[in-house]
Amino acid sequence: MGTVMKLKPLVVATTLTSFTLLGTSSFLYASDAHEHGIAELNVAFEAKQLEIMFLSPAANLVGFEHPPETEQQEKLIVDAVHALKQGYDIIRLPKEAVCLLKEADVEQSLLESHSSGHEEEHEHEKEHEHEEEHEHEKEHESGHSDFTVHYQFVCSKPEMLTGFTTGLFEQFPMIESIRYKMVSHEGQQGGELLPSKGDVHIKQ
Ligand SMILES: [Zn+2]
């Protein structure tokens, strides 16, 4: 019996690390806080991938947290969703990092009907149907409602990704402050973004 099993411990360790950074939904959905004027940005940066989760009370984005009662209110919601999907405006990355927006997924419960019938959205609805129903119940009970936006960028020169600024304060002036958390190979960092100080520095 001359066979020796090769365990490749380094490869295993790398794989586990990737899992920990990007696969931990508990990090990206870290908080249940709902405070008007305050929003949250949770960032995970791993290899070429930049994952960003933006959470905000609907009040910060549209000015109310109930299903639309007028056409004007409905338009405010549609406009907010549209603005949030413009990932390059919301998260302004250095050109040198050559980052491509792969996904900008906006979830909100004020408008139940989804206007666009993408296959992906249907899949998503099906997957989260149960979960979302519970969320809705919870939100309706409390009278509050949140927007959750997930952005995924892939950068071909991640070493040039030294930070980013956000267009959120310009787009949504009712946001007073954004608490951010970031996890990368450099560890965790966090802080507060303000309209006067809206840039996130990424340690590399
Ligand atoms: Zn609220």
Q: How far is the CA of 149 from the centre of ligand 1 (A)?
A: 17
Residue 86's pLDDT is what? 98
Residue 76 CA, ligand 1 centroid: distance in Å: 16
What is the 37 CA–ligand 1 centroid distance (Å)? 9
Surrounding residues of ion ligand 1, Cβ less than 5 A? 57, 65, 144
Distance 56 CA to ligand 1 centre (A): 9
Question: ∠ at Cα 82 (195, 54), nearest 5°?
Answer: 50
Going from the Cα of 29 to the center of ligand 1, the distance in angstroms, rounded, reads: 17
Ligand 1 center from residue 13 Cα (angstroms): 42
Mean pLDDT of 51-59: 97
* pLDDT confidence of residue 9: 43
Residue 129 pLDDT:
52
**Better-predicted residue by pLDDT, 15 or 32:** 32
In sequence order, what DSSP letters do the residues of the chain get, joined into one string? --------HHHHHHHHHHHHHHS-HHHHT------TTEEEEEEEEETTEEEEEEEEEHHHHHS--S---SHHHHHHHHHHHHHHH-HHHHEE--GGG-EEEEEEEEEESS--S-SS--HHHHHHHHHHHHHHHHHHHHHHHHT--EEEEEEEEEES-GGG--EEEESHHHH-TT--EEEEEEEETTEEEEEEEBTTB-EEE---
pTM (whole model) above 0.85: no
CA of 67 to the centre of ligand 1 (A): 13
Is there a contact between 182 and 200 (Cβ–Cβ < 8 Å)?
A: yes
Q: What is the pLDDT of residues 178-199, one digit of tens each?
A: 999 999 988 899 999 999 998 9
pLDDT at position 203: 76
Ligand 1 centre distance from Cα of residue 108 (Å): 13
Residue 140: band (very low, low, confident or very high) from pLDDT cuts 50, 70, 90: low
